[in-house]
Homo-oligomer: A and B are copies of this chain.
């Protein structure tokens, strides 16, 4: 059993425990969804999740996807992001070496940014009257290719449209 399998096993157990605790049923749909999430790429939205399941011939309704996502959020197995667009993006959060997100305000591209110092600085803070479970740091700005594009445009005497 490789490392990834081990993680899938662990989160399955955690989810199962959470469902028991909440007296919710352990349906195959719920576990299939969790399994896909911990098998495919880290960032996903409801549509890509739907398609990933379909690729493995597992058909679930959107309603069930939203329902299950809600449960997974509650037990901190996934995390929700909204990077400016009107669409929610999710990310598995168990065993996730902490990273932050760089968001290009010009092209919308998301880049991950690992920085242990920052992680430590942020998660080390004790806040009065607030029990922290997790955090998100979004850094907005211009990515390399947009920067270069702008410079070129400026040389031609143009402003960005």
Contact = CB atoms under 8 A, between A and B. Distances in A.
A139 interface: yes
Interface stretch (A25-33, A34-42, A51-59, A115-123): A115-123
A1 interface: no
Nearest to A83: B82
A141 B134 CA distance: 7
Contacts of A88: 86
Contact of A144 (B122, B130, B136): B130
A94 interface: no
Given A84-B80, A102-B127, A118-B121, A135 B137 contact: yes
Interface residues of A, number: 37
Interface of A: 21-22, 80, 82, 84, 86, 88, 102, 104-105, 111, 113, 115, 117-118, 121-122, 125, 127, 129-144, 147, 159
Number of copies: 2
A142 B74 CA distance: 12
A153 to B, nearest CB: 14
A130 B147 CA distance: 8
B140 A138 contact: no
B140 A137 contact: no
Contact of A111 (B130, B134, B144): B130
Contact of A139 (B22, B135, B159): B135
A139 B117 CA distance: 17
